[in-house]
């Protein structure tokens, strides 16, 4: 079986057989020895393929492997284990006396996952009638009685008004009683009451774009401030691997600027 760039396959390796992966010049990818049963947990091992031929097995029981080609061509074969083809310990020692060990070279970089931007609205006193808060172009108007969508009921104190605003932003419980009927959930953020006087608005899409969500208020006793700065993820292909001085990294799924697919493994813990 041959795999070309951006192709992958899952196969079962019967007990007693050997899996061979032959990498053409410039080929790269990864060989993942998967959990013994589908849905059985994390992979048993992840081995990078970088222009080197690999052999797995034989094992005492059937094993599952996922082979991924990210560049070039990989040739995959399985065969019954033949001990006569393998060198003895003495032969191996003689053959490798003057050979330096090969070092697997992964691209050197430290990827990061996307971080969602936040903005924080702090109340120092209760809102008054007809004062507003806007997020991403959606304007919420404080009222003593509710008559329309996007209206927020003024509570007995600032904390109560804040809670009603959070419910309106999320389209949570209380539609028609604490905020106006017909209000839709904000398209850009979710809201959380983070203390007795604060609303934290978190971008629904992680990444630097969330830093540009427009917010405003004319509530006399309230003000907006930037919270966590949104950060773009390092982009990468599904199962792409890299490393830095301390960790190996793999992208489980394609990584775009707004995803959180990178996982890291401390060097010395992956085998």
Share of the chain above pLDDT 70, in %: 85
Q: Please say if the pLDDT value at position 146 is more than 80.
A: yes
Q: Please tell me the distance from the alpha carbon of residue 46 to that of residue 124, in angstroms, as a whole number.
A: 53
Q: Please say if the pLDDT value at position 100 is more than 60.
A: no
Interval 108-113 mean pLDDT: 92
C-beta separation of 169 from 190 below 8 A: yes
pLDDT tier, 271 (very low <50, low <70, confident <90, very high otherwise): very low
Q: Please tell me the distance from the alpha carbon of residue 269 to that of residue 221, in angstroms, as a whole number.
A: 53
Q: How many CB atoms sit inside 10 A of residue 192's CB?
A: 14
Query: Residue 170 is inside which H or E element, if any?
Result: helix 158-170
Query: Residue 17 is inside which H or E element, if any?
Result: strand 17-23
**Which residues in 81-228 belong to E strands, given as ranges?**
118-123, 132-135, 138-143, 151-153, 189-195, 198-203, 215-217, 222-226
Q: Residue 270: its pLDDT value, please?
A: 47
Interval 129-137 mean pLDDT: 97
Interval 134-155 mean pLDDT: 97
Q: pLDDT: is 36 or 162 the higher one?
A: 162
Q: Residue 10: its pLDDT value, please?
A: 85
Q: Please tell me the distance from the alpha carbon of residue 27 to that of residue 21, in angstroms, as a whole number.
A: 11
């Amino acid at each position: 079986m041959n795999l070309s760039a951006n192709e992958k396959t899952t196969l079962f390796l019967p007990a007693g057989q050997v899996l061979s992966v032959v990498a053409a010049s410039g080929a790269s990818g990864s060989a993942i020895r998967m959990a013994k049963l589908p849905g059985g947990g994390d992979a048993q091992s992840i081995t990078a393929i970088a222009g080197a031929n690999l052999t797995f097995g034989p094992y005492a029981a059937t094993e599952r492997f996922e082979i991924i080609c990210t560049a070039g061509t990989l040739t995959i074969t399985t065969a019954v284990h033949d001990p006569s083809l393998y060198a003895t310990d003495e032969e191996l020692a003689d053959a490798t006396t003057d050979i330096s060990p090969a070092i697997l070279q992964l691209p050197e970089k430290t990827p990061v996952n996307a971080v969602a931007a936040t903005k924080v609205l702090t109340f120092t006193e209760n809102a008054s009638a007809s004062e507003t808060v806007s997020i991403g172009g959606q304007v919420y108007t404080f009222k003593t009685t509710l008559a329309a969508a996007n209206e927020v009921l003024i509570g007995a104190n600032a904390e109560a008004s804040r809670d009603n605003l959070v419910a309106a932003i999320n389209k949570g419980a209380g539609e028609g009683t604490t905020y106006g009927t017909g209000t839709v959930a904000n398209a850009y953020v979710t809201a959380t009451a983070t203390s007795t006087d604060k609303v934290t608005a978190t971008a629904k899409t992680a990444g630097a774009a969330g830093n540009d969500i427009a917010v405003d208020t004319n509530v006399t006793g309230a003000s907006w401030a930037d919270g966590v700065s949104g950060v773009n993820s390092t982009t990468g292909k599904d199962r792409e691997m890299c490393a830095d001085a301390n960790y190996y990294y793999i992208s489980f799924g394609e990584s775009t600027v707004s995803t959180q697919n990178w996982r890291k493994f401390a060097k010395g813990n992956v085998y």
